[in-house]
Amino acid sequence: MSKSNHATTPDPLPTEFLPKPIVVFSDVDDTLTCDGVLPVETYSALVLLQKAGIEVVPVTGASAGWCDCLIKTWPINHIIGENGAVFMEMDDRQIVTTHFVKDTAAVDHDLQQLMQLGNELSERFPEVRFTQDQPFRLTDVAFDIGQAVTVKESIAEAATQWLLNQNVAARRSSIHINVWMGNHSKASTAMRWLDDREIDPANCLFIGDSPNDESMFERFPVSVGVANVQRFLSNMEFTPAYITTNKGGYGFVEMVNVLLD
């Protein structure tokens, strides 16, 4: 089951997904986690999907360092990080290989420019500072608006708009403002991953929670928003096709129960 994802009000979860997805792409923060913690029920759901032969590929704005930790400790073999700039895969020997969508010279140059831009942003908006995981980012910068600190909605919105006016890509998640240079996105790298494996996006599902997931909501006909996406819907151009009753990782479990029923 699927419907247009362009500025529509999400429906409740269907009783089943047809065709049954063979790949589940999922945001991480506030989609798999809930209030900053990964519920044991969510981890168990990831294990059940793996046992059912359904590939789970987290697609996140999180740092490459964080992604390296997740792929080595969660029941996953692939992860897309830093909003599509980096993707990692783990082979049967548990060896992780990291790939970039830009060449090394461009990565180094762009990161230097972004750090300078970030310092200027913090001068203009003193409440908005780099995230604690910034030292573990390889391609982008991120600012904390709802993780270790809470930034007023109006300030977060103004800071995001200022960044967009500097001709960089800037997207808000529930906890961060992610900023990068280039045309890549969560969706473009997810599509590249699928193309390499000759998998039709129609046989996949995406689940997310924020405006930072809009490119995925746009590209995947079967998409789900966990309940906490509700607060962003009025400002989103592309919305999920379906919405869960529960928030965060508990909404993910709700979706998995339908998928595996």
260: which 2 tokens?
A: 């595996």
Q: What is the pLDDT of residue 1?
A: 52
Neighbouring C-beta atoms of residue 30, cutoff 10 Å: 24
Nearest-5° Cα angle at 15, 10 to 16: 100
Q: What is the pLDDT of residue 3?
A: 53
In this structure, which topology does domain 104-180 adopt according to CATH?
Hypothetical Protein Ta0175; Chain: A, domain 2 (3.90.1070)
Q: What is the pLDDT of residue 55?
A: 98
C-alpha 170: how far from its chain's center?
13
| pTM for the model | 0.93
Q: How many helices and strands (H and E) does the chain possess?
A: 7, 13
Cβ atoms of 90 and 72 within 8 Å: the answer is yes
What angle, 0 to 180 degrees and rounded to 10, lies between the N-to-C axes of helices 153-164 and 104-124? 130
Write out the chain's pLDDT in tens, 261 residues: 545 576 579 999 999 999 999 999 999 999 999 999 999 999 999 999 999 999 999 999 999 999 999 999 999 999 999 999 999 999 999 999 999 999 989 999 999 999 999 999 999 999 999 999 999 999 999 999 999 999 999 999 999 999 999 999 999 999 999 999 999 999 999 999 999 999 999 999 999 999 999 999 999 999 999 999 999 999 999 999 999 999 999 999 999 999 998
Domain-by-domain residue ranges, the chain? 18-100+185-260, 104-180
CATH code matching the domain that covers 18-100+185-260, chosen among 3.40.190.10, 1.10.3720.10, 3.40.50.1000, 3.50.50.60:
3.40.50.1000
